[in-house]
Amino acid sequence: MHETPKPFTVHGVTLHSRFFLGSAGYPSPQVLQEALLASGAQVVTVGLRRSHASGGDNGFVASVLQAVRERGGQLLPNTAGCRSATEAVALAHMARELYGTHWIKLEVVGDEHTLQPCPWGTLEAATQLVKDGFAVFPYCTDDLVSAQRLVDAGCQVLMPWGAPIGSGQGLLNPWALRTLRARLPDITLVVDAGLGLPSHAAQAMELGFDAVLLNSAVSQAREPVRMARAFAHAVQAGRLGFEAGAMAPQPMAVASTPVTGRPLLIG
Amino acid sequence: MPDMAPDTLQFNDHLLPCPSGLTLQALLASQGLTPERVATAVNARFVPRTLHASTALQPGDHVVTFEAIVGG
């Protein structure tokens, strides 16, 4: 029997997939659409940019919109590129108007080298956007105290990084992520950024995270569609493993076969 | 930002005439843009669609439009 993890609810929307997927960097609109389908993702991230004279996007956005519409999914626009709370708040309002959703992935970058989110700018923007009626999904670090402040500001979802954006390094600090899970048991936690392998996603889910969000690990794979499928399996496996309850690690060997004494020793 | 002649405004990357009474709605229409395709900021402040018709533009204003793209 094929068992899937239990559905969960985010801001009133029931989701059957715990795999959130980004839409950037795919080799073609067709590959993007096939990868979205293979992933089973219901939540798909999109962005905004300043208009310029070079014209359209060759059909990439249309592919995303079609795939999400067909699956009854949810768009999650981001505020990528913002360096201040003021910028991020303005861009969030534009995203709400353009995409017709009050969900926003809040990104306020604080360091150009690591693209580490700025905890102060993120908190300031989150506070305002919650007041403005947004469902805020803040991209944040794994720092517990700044995460708690975001919760205090009204964020029901937090998206801590596993590693810097696009680095593919996996979970650099599992202890911090485990701590977040333990200290914020009622908050929806999504590992966002830094995942490179399906095993990284499985590890995040085994830690009890509610979902993972990734982009480059799929779009930059040699075969994005197959990698999307691989991540989908890994997310399901990790979540099922978490729900099933892992055994407690033991410091020494513990025999598993219930033998009586030694098989060939007489007397 | 380029030097702006009197009675012009900056629209994205170029300068345009700004006649008296020009509204944001009229400017977007003159550029072939429907409100569904872009979101708009004037002088770095978001202007919702519902206010396009009542937003009068002034010489020296900076109008920027944003469009949907893929993203992570």
ipTM of the prediction:
0.89
Paired tokens of A209:
């995270």
* From B46, B65, B67, residue closest to A93, measured CB to CB: B46
**Is residue A105 annotated as a catalytic residue, yes or no?**
yes
The structure's pTM equals 0.91
Instruction: Considering only residues A65 and A148, tell me which one the structure prediction assigns the higher pLDDT.
Output: A148
| Model pLDDT, residue B72 | 95
* Alpha helices, DSSP H, located in A77-183: 85-99, 119-131, 144-152, 174-183
| Model pLDDT, residue B2 | 56
Confidence of residue A82 (pLDDT cuts 50, 70, 90): very high
Instruction: Considering only residues A236 and A70, tell me which one the structure prediction assigns the higher pLDDT.
Output: A236
Interface of A with B (CB under 8 A): 22-26, 32, 45-53, 57, 60-61, 64, 77-78, 80, 90-91, 93-95, 97-99, 165-166, 215-216
Q: What percent of chain A has pLDDT over 70?
A: 98
Rounded (5°) CA angle A26-A220-A142: 110
Q: Is the pLDDT of residue A72 over 90?
A: no
State mean pLDDT over A104-124.
97
| Model pLDDT, residue A6 | 84
Q: Which residue from B minimizes the CA distance to A105?
A: B72
Structure confidence by residue, pLDDT tens digits, A159-211: 999 999 999 999 999 999 999 999 999 999 999 999 999 999 999 999 999 99
* Contact between B13 and A93 using a beta-carbon 8 Å cutoff: no
Residue ranges of E strands in chain A? 8-10, 13-15, 19-22, 43-50, 74-77, 103-106, 135-140, 157-160, 188-192, 211-214
Q: Is the pLDDT of residue A1 over 60?
A: no
| Model pLDDT, residue A55 | 65
Confidence of residue A261 (pLDDT cuts 50, 70, 90): confident
Between residues 10 and 69 of chain B, which touch chain A (CB distance below 8 Å)? 12-13, 38-41, 44-46, 48-49, 64-69
| Model pLDDT, residue B3 | 65
pLDDT tens for chain B, 72 residues long, are 556 677 999 999 899 999 999 999 999 999 999 888 999 999 999 999 999 999 999 999 999 999 999 999
State mean pLDDT over A125-149.
98
* From A64, A99, A216, residue closest to B70, measured CB to CB: A64
C-alpha dihedral sign at A200, A22, A41, A135: positive
Place of tokens 């396009």: B52
CB-based contacts of A37: which residues, under 8 Å, 6+ apart? A67, A71
| Model pLDDT, residue A69 | 87
A44 contacts A75 by C-beta, under 8 angstroms:
yes
* From A22, A52, A90, residue closest to B71, measured CB to CB: A22
* Contact between A52 and B12 using a beta-carbon 8 Å cutoff: yes
Q: What percent of chain A has pLDDT over 90?
A: 85
| Model pLDDT, residue A200 | 98
